[in-house]
Amino acid sequence: MLKVIATSTREVKSLNGLWSFALDTDPKFTSSSPWESTLPGNLECPVPASYNDIFPNHALRNHVGKVWYQRLVRIPKSWDGQRVFIRLDSATHEGEVYVNDRLVVKHVGGYTPFEADLTSAGVKAGEEVRITIGVDNILTRHSIPPGELQKNELGKTVQIIRHDFFNYAGLARSVRLYTVPLDVRVGDIKVVTDVEEKGGSGTVKFDLKLEGGDGTVTVDLVDRDGKIVTTSDSCSGKLTVPNPKLWGPGQPYLYNLSIKVSTTGNVVDEYSLPVGIRSVKISGTQFLINHKPFYFKGFGRHEDLTVIGKGHDDGWMVYDFELMRWTGANSFRTSHYPYAEEVYDYADRHGWIVINEVAAVGLNLHLGGGIFGKDERDTFSDEYCDATTQETHKQAIRELIARDYNHPSVVMWCITNEPGSQEKGAREYFQPLVELTKQLDPHRPVTFTNMGMALPDTDKIADLFDVIGINRYFGWYSETGNLELAEKKLEEELKRWAEKYKRPLVICEYGADTLAGLHMNPAQPWSEEYQCEFLTMYHRVFDRIEAVVGEHVWNFADFSTGPGIIRVDGNKKGVFTRDRRPKMAAHTLKNRWGGLWEEAK
């Protein structure tokens, strides 16, 4: 799916800002078709933002079901003769878009974009239209992530989720109108790069799809100084770049693939795609970027902010990247869902390494029995994650890869977090998903994150993956307060993974809840000192195991969760507080990872 950009043949109009807003349960609704009239009440909600924390009101925060956004939009008169689309970067978890009283698109899946062709729907340049967007936050056992609805003793519907972050919903990312040429245009581009082992030359394989007719194409690879390095006049091919400037960690050199489509000698469409020339390969237990062993240093994160929840905000995004850079981190995982596209664009432009995760979290009925409640069912069965869930999961993988295929920063797909991979049915469920991922992208390694109930001998899926992600909490959920015993157990287990699977292990989560400002000597759980000692112990173990090629601390910052007796105002495993103040552990990491780095020019 092409990113929305403005070029000489394409225009963009943001629809971000305040929209009229109503819950579908609003008693003032007079019609069962909210899109046919103006919304009741006078609430306004910002876009992009999750709506839950905008209003200090239980009914809104904990609403289960649909909400409605609405606004009037004038289609620019100057767009006459062009094809107009509406693009929603996400609607969490299901969206439906109406133009006046006409449904133009419905989409399932809360973290990937979707769009509708408004021109085909009869919308004309210069016209004013009423756009109404319904967003549903319900998670069922057939959604990704899965969840369930239950009736409580008051007869109210409550949402059961099996993941440890608040179920923020709404329009948390941009909504835009954009134009493309009415007829012949660039429909999609896929780029794969490779680097010769000695770095002498690089290749850019491209595959361009035209839509709306036929045309001739010019494809130029342009360097940072605007010089054309190599060129082609076909829709697919392989460009060779002698002595390329490589893209790599902290080394964000980007070329531009500049595409022009012509009919009868006139340029009718232009599109341009940043391209980082780099290679990613696995060799034994090493993770190689540009043929050099890479060690992941960084964080599992969340899109999570006060007030706007999972709303994208450029200011906070840059600040988070700068804080990570200050610690010396080089990478992060988009736990537990695809992030806003701006995050990957930034990572491309600044040399960050990204493990990109599908929103498949909570496929595990038995995780932390006490936390989510005991369950007798099998996770991968007709009673929970069944063939329909698997289909939704496949679609989530397809949409993630379609969106993010061209980002040099993305080095690996993570197709699930902490599934019940020791359970029967897990292999039958995941094998087709790994195969699909590899078929859609044969060039990137595929990983998952394993949880502590599925051990080297009982996990049924780890061998399907190129890299094994491991989340461990010895010293926190078990051996609480006993780091000596935790160290022994951690080391023993990681050695078993290394011996049995002989492939790279990335520790994708390790961390301890820590109350900022709580100091204790000797260190005790919840104190800042304990978090430091905990992380330091893990690092000692990692350094003793060659197959460990990465450490992502859980979590970059404290984040919001649902209510529960083991969460006080959310999950406190952040190395930064929710408002991004450093805990002592940030300095521990800075010392280990080397602190602030400068991008190579």
By C-beta, is 285 or 417 nearer to ligand GCB? Answer: 417
Angle between helices 314-327 and 341-350 (to 10 degrees): 40
For tokens 């980002």, what's the residue?
407
Q: Which is nearer to ligand GCB, 440 or 453 (CB)?
A: 453
For 432, list phi and psi in degrees, rounded to 5. Answer: -60, -30
Q: How far is the CB of 535 from ligand GCB (least distance, A)?
A: 14
Order of strands, sheet of 185-195, starting from the edge strand that comes earlier in the sequence:
185-195, 201-211, 236-242
Q: Which is nearer to ligand GCB, 285 or 514 (CB)?
A: 514
Listing DSSP states for 397-448 in one string gives HHHHHHHHTT-TTEEEEEEEES--TTSTTHHHHHHHHHHHHHHH-TTS-EEE
Does residue 553 contact residue 535 with C-beta atoms inside 8 Å? yes
Query: Residue 509 or residue 533: which is nearer to ligand GCB going by CB?
Result: 509
CA atoms of 402 and 447, how far apart (whole Å): 18
CB atoms within 10 A of CB 368: 16
Closest CA to 392 of 139, 170, 594: 139
Q: Considering the complex, what minimum distance in angstroms separates the CB of residue 472 from ligand GCB?
A: 9
* CB of 61 closer than 8 Å to CB of 91: no
Q: How far is the CB of 508 from ligand GCB (least distance, A)?
A: 8
Cis peptide, bond prior to residue 76, ω within 30 of zero: no
Which residue has the closest beta carbon to ligand GCB? Answer: 164
103/453 with CB nearer ligand GCB: 453
Q: 3-state DSSP helix/strand/coil percent for the chain, to nearest 5?
A: 20, 35, 45
DSSP SS3 for 388: helix
Closest approach, Cβ 283 to ligand GCB, in A, equals: 28
Q: What is the DSSP letter of 52?
A: T
For residue 372, the minimal CB distance to ligand GCB (Å) is 11
Contact (Cβ atoms closer than 8 angstroms) between residue 68 and residue 34: yes
Quick one: 249 or 300, whose CB is closer to ligand GCB?
Answer: 300
Least distance to ligand GCB from the beta carbon of 204, Å?
Answer: 36
Interface pattern 311-350 for ligand GCB (x via CB under 6 A): -------------------------x--------------
Please calculate the CA angle 292-297-300 and round it to the nearest 5 degrees.
Answer: 130
- Amino acid symbol at 20: S
* Closest C-alpha among 295, 282, 230, 288 to residue 257: 230
Tokens of 52: 């839950």
Q: Residue 300 Cβ, how far from ligand GCB at the closest point, in Å?
A: 7
Residue from 94, 136, 220, 418 that binds ligand GCB (CB under 6 A)? 418
From candidates 4, 49, 412, 451, binder to ligand GCB by CB under 6 A: 451
With CB under 6 A, what is the number of residues at the site for ligand GCB? 10
471 contacts ligand GCB (rule: CB under 6 A): yes
Q: Which of 417, 421, 422, 527 binds ligand GCB (CB under 6 A)?
A: 417
Residues 227-256 that bind ligand GCB (CB under 6 A): none
Q: How far apart, in whole angstroms, are the C-alpha atoms of residue 375 and residue 369?
A: 8
Does 404 interact with ligand GCB (rule: CB under 6 A)?
no
CB of 371 to ligand GCB, least distance (A): 8
Site for ligand GCB in 150-209 (CB under 6 A): 164
Residue 294 near residue 249 (C-beta atoms within 8 A): yes
Active-site positions?
418, 509
* 412: its two tokens: 């690996």
For ligand GCB, which residue of 206, 271, 554, 556 counts as binding (CB under 6 A)?
554
573 binding ligand GCB? (CB under 6 A): yes
**Residue in 374, 367, 416, 423 with CA at minimum distance from that of residue 392:** 416
Q: Give me the residue label for tokens 């995982």.
A: 333
**Burial class, 477, CB count within 10 angstroms (exposed 0-12 / middle 13-18 / buried 19+):** middle
Q: Contact with ligand GCB (CB under 6 A): which of 115, 509, 529, 558?
A: 509
Minimum CB distance to ligand GCB smaller for 451 or for 507: 451
**Shortest Cβ distance from residue 100 to ligand GCB (Å)?**
42
Q: Output 441 or 509, the one with its CB closest to ligand GCB.
A: 509
Q: How far apart (Å, rounded) are the C-alpha atoms in residues 601 and 251?
A: 7
Q: Does 571 bind ligand GCB (CB under 6 A)?
A: yes
The amino acid sitting at 161 is I
Instruction: Report the residue number, 97 or 508, with the smaller CB distance to ligand GCB.
Output: 508
**Region class of 357: left (phi > 0), else alpha (psi between -120 and 50), else beta:** beta
Give me 445's structure tokens.
Answer: 């390694």
Cis peptide, bond prior to residue 249, ω within 30 of zero:
no
Nearer to ligand GCB by Cβ, of 84 and 144: the residue is: 144
State the nearest-atom distance from the C-beta of 7 to ligand GCB, in Å.
Answer: 40
Q: Residue numbers of the site for ligand GCB (CB under 6 A)?
A: 164, 336, 417-418, 451, 471, 509, 554, 571, 573
